[in-house]
Chains A and B, each alone.
Chain A
Amino acid sequence: MSNFIYFWNHFAFILLMVGGLFIIITSQNYLKKVVGLAIFQTAVFVFFVSLAKVLDGTAPILTKMANAYSNPLPHVLILTAIVVGVATSALGLALVLQIYKNYETIEEKEIESLELKSDK
C-alpha cells in the first residue's frame, strides 16, 4: 500500500495517455480531438516532471539553506515542449475552423457522407 502511493503518478500517466488516445480516436467532433491531443501531451509532461522529483529536495534555485535539489534537466525539456504543444493545438484549431468554413460541420461522419455525395 505504501508503494502504491509512490507509483500513483506512473499509473496516472498510463491512464491519461490511453484516455487521450481514446478521445482522439473515438470522438467525432474535431475540436474534441484537438483537446484529446493536448491531454496526450500533458500525460507525458506530468510523467517527466514526476521523474525529476527528489524527496526532501527543493526547486532547483540555488540557496544556502537547501542541500538537495530536484533534477532541472527534465524541467527544461518540458518547458520547451509546453510551448510547442500550444503551437500545435493553435495550428489544429486553425485547421478545424477552415474545415468548418468549407463543410459547415465539424462532425467526422457528416463530412464523410457529404464527401460521398459530392463524388457521385
Chain B
Amino acid sequence: MNFLLINFFLISLLLVTTFFIFKTTSLISIVALTGAFTLLCSAIYVNLDAVDVAFTEAAVGSGISTILMVMAAAKLPEGKKNKLINLFPSIILAVAISLILIIIIANLPLLGDPNAPIHLHVVPEYLKESKDFFHIPNVVTNILASYRGFDTLGETIVIFTAGLGVIALLTSNTLNRKTNFKKNKKNER
C-alpha cells in the first residue's frame, strides 16, 4: 500500500511539472523544469523496481540532456510571450486521442497484477536461464547483452548517426537561400 501511495504522489508531481512547462515562456525555466521532470521520472522508476532504467535516466536523461539544453538555451534569445497557435485543431486532436486511449486502457490489467499476460510468456524462461545457464544475477544486463545484443548494436548505430547529424548541422556554413536573405536584411539596415 505504501508503494501505491508514493507512486500516486510522484506521478501527480510529474503532471504538475508538465503543466508548468506548458505555462512558462522563459527558456531557462523550461530547461530547469525539464531537469526536475527527468529527476522525478528516475524516482518513479526506482519505486517501480526498474533500477537499471533509473540509473540510465539519471545519468543520460537528467544529466546529459539537461547539459545540452542549457548549452542551447545560452545561445538562444529569451522566449517571447506569444499567444498559442493552432489552438482549435489541437484541442480536437487531444480530445480524440484521449478518448481512444481511455477505451484501450479500460481493458488493461491493473498495476502490479502478477497474472497479466506480459509476465507469463517469455520472461519466466529468461529468469530461469539467467540463473542456471548464464550465471549472471542481473537479468536486465543479461537480456541487453546476450539475448538482444543486435538490438543494442542497432541502438549504437542510431546514436552514431545522430552524432554525425549534429556535427554536420553545427559546422555547416553553406550559403543557402535563407542565409542570402539574412545578408539582404543586414544590407537594408
A residues in contact (CB < 8 Å) with B? 3, 5-23, 25-29, 31-32, 34-35, 38-39, 42, 45-46, 49-63, 68-76, 78-80, 82-91, 93-98, 100, 102-109, 114, 118
Contacts and interface: CB of A to CB of B under 8 A. Distances in A.
Contact of B4 (A6, A58, A79, A83): A6
Nearest to B120: A71
Contacts of B36: none
Interface of B: 3-5, 7-8, 11-12, 14-15, 18-19, 21-22, 25, 27, 30, 34, 37-38, 41, 44-45, 48-53, 56-57, 60-61, 64-65, 68-69, 72-73, 75-77, 79-80, 82, 84-87, 89-90, 93-94, 97-98, 101-102, 105, 108, 110-114, 116, 118-119, 122-123, 126-127, 130-131, 137-140, 143-144, 148, 151-152, 155, 158-159, 162-163, 165-166, 169-170, 172, 176-179, 181-182, 184
B100 to A, nearest CB: 10
Contacts of B73: 31
Given A62-B127, A70-B49, A84 B18 contact: no
A39 B21 CA distance: 10
Contact of A25 (B48, B86, B110): B86
A14 B95 CA distance: 11
Given A17-B97, A83-B56, A12 B11 contact: yes
A61 to B, nearest CB: 5
B57 A62 contact: no
B77 A71 contact: no
A28 to B, nearest CB: 5
Contacts of A51: 108, 116, 118
A27 B87 CA distance: 9
A52 B48 contact: yes
Contact of B137 (A5, A63, A114): A63
Given A3-B110, A14-B101, A62-B139, A90 B68 contact: yes
- Cβ-closest 8 pairs across A and B: A55-B112, A87-B162, A70-B49, A26-B84, A25-B90, A94-B169, A102-B178, A60-B139
B50 A70 contact: yes
Contacts of B44: 46, 49
B9 to A, nearest CB: 10
